[in-house]
Structure 1
Amino acid sequence: MAVDRRVTSPHRRTSDTILGASHAPGLMSTRSEKPTSVQNYVLPPRKTADSLMGVYWSFVFPLYPLVDGIRLRAEYEKVWTGEPLESDESMLMCTFNVIFALACQLADFIPPEEREASADAFFSRAKDLLQFNLWDTGSAALIQCLLLMAQYLQSTDSAHQCWIVTGLAIRNAQSLGLHLPQTIARLPSPQEQQLARKIWHGCVLMDRYGVPHLLNL
């Protein structure tokens, strides 16, 4: 089945850590030049993944609406059905793993003593999947993923790393002109304009938290 190429088969669960079996098959992104460990493309079992996504959309996203929820929900379903993805697969899997990390911190179905380790494991996987080239043009997907990473780092004892990642998100957003009303006005659809504003507002939000600000507003 197509889904087996991206996610752990529900019939092959062993000890089933919340990350899913590390030996399960994975799918390498065809759009990336950087080889990525196959096991990093393994998602948790569907039931666990759905539960973590539910925690994120219910408790995290309303407070920090940093991503395009409609697109991410649609891409999430495609991962399980095997339909072609519209997004870069490595970036998408990176984003999902950060979402899982954030959700682990609040998931009541994970024992409290295991939440931090589970979250850290997902975040480590996300870091391995992040493919950032200083010389490449940024993208909306990259900025959203960086903002999620900054949000996670903010919840840990990693203030310096949070500041650095937030800075990367801001500079990439500025390189795309998302801080300029005239740039947003030229986008072809109201949906894209709304997303651009959301991304920039997310950059401003993450820049306001307890470290030297990069933006003078």
Structure 2
Amino acid sequence: LPQRSLADRLVASYFKHRHPLNPYIHEGTFRQRYARLWLSKDVGGEEAAPNNLAWLAVVNMVFAFGSEHVQVRPPYNGSPAGSASAKPDRARFFKRAKVLAFSSILQARIELVQALLLMSHYLHGSLELNHCWTVIGLAIRTAQELGLYLAPANFTEDIIEQEIRKRVWWGCFVIDR
């Protein structure tokens, strides 16, 4: 993870600029779980484990898209060129998300579909169209396995979870068109 202050700015940037275009993630739920990343395990924090790799892929995609609108200042090294602002390395966040998502590809979870949808938008924006369509196919097949195309009330009574299931399914539908 990047330093906490930068990570917080990346998350805020994502929800301000990107989330309105691709609302696959519930902001309140994301922020609660994101806050637990910074806690130690003994006080309820999350760690990288096989059951949450897809979630960590989502976090890294949020960082990747958030970095489009965030400037960072490198440490001053005495030269004017060294004090210029730069964007965080969004490609590094994408590569990390890709490793995490593909490490959890056999565990069908809604977080995996969310990560794959965000990855497909990244690839489309990078003009890597062949890879984009492959990732979209994985997202749709995982969404079908999860039954996201079915009435969400059949799976959960939680209103937020029902809404996210609908948004993720419609995200798959729209991006496939």
Name the TM tier (shorter chain): 0.7 to 0.9
Report whether the alignment pairs 1:191 with 2:154.
no
RMSD over aligned Cα, in angstroms? Answer: 2.5
Please report how far the alpha carbon of residue 102 of structure 1 lies from its aligned counterpart in structure 2 after TM superposition.
1.1
| Distance (Å, rounded) in 2 between the aligned partners of 1:92 and 1:185 | 23
Amino acid at match of 2:89: S
Displacement of 1:137 after TM fit? 5.0
- The answer as to whether partners of 2:72 and 2:86 remain within 8 angstroms in 1 is no
**Matched AA of 2:13:** V
Structure 1 Cα separation of the partners of residues 104 and 55 of structure 2: 13
Matched, 1:159 2:129: yes
SS of aligned partner of 1:188: coil
**Structure 1, gaps ≥5 residues long:** 1-42, 209-217
**Partner of residue 120, structure 1:** 91
Letter in structure 1 aligned against 2:176: D
- CA 1:127–1:113: 2 relative to 1, 3 Å: farther
Query: Quick one: distance in 2 between partners of 1:143 and 1:157?
Result: 21
Residue 146 of structure 2 corresponds to residue 176 of structure 1: yes
Which residue of the other structure, out of 34, 38, 44, is the alignment partner of 1:76? 34
The reply to whether residue 59 of structure 1 matches residue 17 of structure 2 is: yes
Q: Which runs of 4+ in 1 moved over 6 A?
A: 110-113
- Do the aligned partners of 2:71 and 2:85 also contact (CA within 8 Å) in 1? no
CA distance in 2, matches of 1:153, 1:110: 27
Identity, % of aligned positions: 34
For these two proteins, the number of residue pairs brought into alignment is 161
Quote the residue 1:202 is aligned against.
Answer: 171
Shift of 1:203: 0.8
Scaled by the length of structure 2, the TM-score of the pair is 0.80
Distance in 2 separating the partners of 1:163 and 1:113: 34
Is the 1:94–1:126 Cα contact (8 Å) retained in structure 2?
yes
Residue 129 of structure 1 corresponds to 100
Structure number with higher relative contact order (C-alpha < 8 Å, ≥ 6 residues apart) = 2
CA distance in 1, matches of 2:149, 2:73: 39
SS at match of 1:71: helix
